[in-house]
Structures are given as C-alpha cells and as structure tokens.
C-alpha cells in the first residue's frame, strides 16, 4: 500500500524556480552578448553560477527522492522534495562552499546536504544507490551540457555561450569524479560504507566532516591538480568539449580579473 507521503507530489519551491529564472535570463544575456566583454563576463558568471546551483539542488533532490522510495518516508516532511536549497541541513556545505570552490579553483564539488534517516532503509544496496544518485545526476547534467558538442549541433551558437557551456560541463565532470571518491563525507564513501565492517565505519566517522575540505586542499598540490585536470580534459574531449572551450569559459567567468578579449573559435 502506498503511503500518503509517497502519494503527495511536493510543490516546487519558488526559491528554486527563481534560481532557474536567473539562469535562464543570464543564459539569454550570454547568448545575445553585450556591448563590451566585461558585460558578457558578468552574464557568464551569473549564468554558470545559477546553473551550478540548480545542479546542486538536483543533486540533493536525487538523494532525497531515492531515499523516499527506499523507505525513508520522513523525507517529504523535511521539504527536500521541493528543491528549496534553504531547507538543506548544511547550507554552508551545500551551497556556499561549492560556489566558493568554483570561484577559487574552477572545481565543481557538491557538499553534504540532506539528512536521511538511514535506520528506516533496509538493505545495503539501497543505501549504496541513495549515495550514488547525487553524482549520477551530475553525470546526466554533464551529458546535457555537452549535447550540442557531441551532437555536432553548434552551428549558430554564439562563442560566448559555447564557452559558458564548456565551463559548466567541466564543473559537472569534476563534481561527478570527486564525489565518487571513497573519502568519508563524500558520496563515494557512502556507496561503499554499507559494505564495510562496523569497526571500519566507526573509525572513519570522525573524518566525515573534513573530507570535503581535505579533497579540496589536496587538489591545490600542483602535481595532483595536473593529473586530475588531465583526466577531466580527456573526458571532456571525448564529449566534444575542447580545452579551448573550457579555458575561455573560465576566463569569461572570472570577469573581475579584467575583461578578456573574447576570441572567435580558433584552432
């Protein structure tokens, strides 16, 4: 028998719809361009940031929705199914830090957000799938962002919008890869945690609050950073997105460093 919690369809939050509207408006501004490259850079910044926050909301929604269907019927009452980022348990980790990571290093890394009552959920496979649902959403978002590239459908797409999509795709790919790392506090660890012994889980638990920051800190090591982004670039090239696209997308995004001379598609 289906419970009332599962039957009801939670209304989408006006906050989320507002973020989507900002992403759409700034995407249109990026597409049409402006009188100067600085103005275009601001439009790219707003578009990519808003779209990134939308993907963060969808990431957490995927966790919540899969938890609901796995047995945690308390999810609906917490408001997670409304996609409202203000209802996340850790707004700092869920929204503020991921946006700062993008601004500081061009790295997409979602944080922890929704509280799932794991004791309500039977079966190790269900726990693993709940953890995997978030980064799999980033994978899907990356596929959508890169669709014009791998479908060879870029004719008529302005260069600035192409560059913005390329940079947004880079964020989604980095988010998917990093979140699948088996580090306490990240979704990758959540995938394997149900299969670990109780003793190992107890030992790893104190490190969970710091996993996100440790991963970000390690990525500042030049050698690690180079290897990581070589792997990211290889994946993006497989999806039709070139280094040229992501480089200029990030240059436009960082409009505060000075307005770049927006190039035409080059070599």
CB atoms inside a 10 Å sphere around CB 186: 25
Phi, psi of 255 (to 5 degrees): -60, -25
- Residue identified by tokens 């978002």 is 141
Catalytic residue flag (residue 60): yes
Whether 62 and 136 have beta carbons less than 8 Å apart is answered as yes
Whether 160 and 44 have beta carbons less than 8 Å apart is answered as yes
- DSSP result, 11-79: PPPHHHHHHHHHHHHHHHHHHH--SSHHHHHHHHHHHHHHHHHHHHHHHHHHHHHHHHHHT-TTHHHHT
Active-site residue, selected from the candidate residues 60, 117, 193, 205: 60
List active site positions.
Answer: 60
């Amino acid at each position: 028998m289906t419970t009332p919690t599962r039957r009801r369809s939670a209304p989408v939050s006006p906050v989320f719809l507002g973020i989507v509207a900002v992403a759409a408006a700034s995407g249109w501004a990026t597409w049409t361009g402006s009188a100067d490259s600085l103005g275009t850079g601001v439009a790219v910044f707003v578009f990519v940031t808003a779209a990134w926050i939308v993907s963060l909301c969808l990431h957490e929604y995927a966790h919540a929705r899969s938890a609901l269907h796995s047995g945690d019927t308390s999810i609906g009452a917490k408001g997670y199914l409304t996609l409202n980022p203000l209802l996340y348990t850790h707004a700092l980790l869920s929204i503020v830090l991921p946006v700062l990571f993008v601004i500081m290093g061009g790295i997409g890394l979602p944080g922890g957000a929704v509280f799932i009552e794991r004791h309500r959920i039977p079966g190790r496979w269900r726990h693993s799938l709940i953890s995997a649902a978030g980064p799999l959403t980033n994978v899907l978002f990356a596929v959508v962002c890169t669709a014009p590239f791998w479908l060879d459908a870029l004719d008529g797409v302005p260069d600035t919008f192409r560059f913005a999509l390329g940079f947004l795709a880079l964020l989604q790919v980095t988010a998917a890869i990093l979140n699948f790392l088996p580090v306490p506090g990240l979704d990758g660890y959540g995938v394997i945690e149900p299969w670990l012994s109780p003793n190992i889980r107890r030992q790893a638990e104190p490190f969970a609050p710091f996993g996100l920051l440790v991963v970000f800190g390690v990525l500042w090591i030049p050698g690690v950073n180079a290897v990581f982004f070589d792997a990211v670039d290889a994946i993006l090239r497989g999806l039709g997105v070139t280094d040229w696209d992501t480089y200029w997308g990030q240059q436009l995004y960082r409009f505060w460093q000075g307005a770049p001379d927006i190039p035409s598609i080059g070599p």
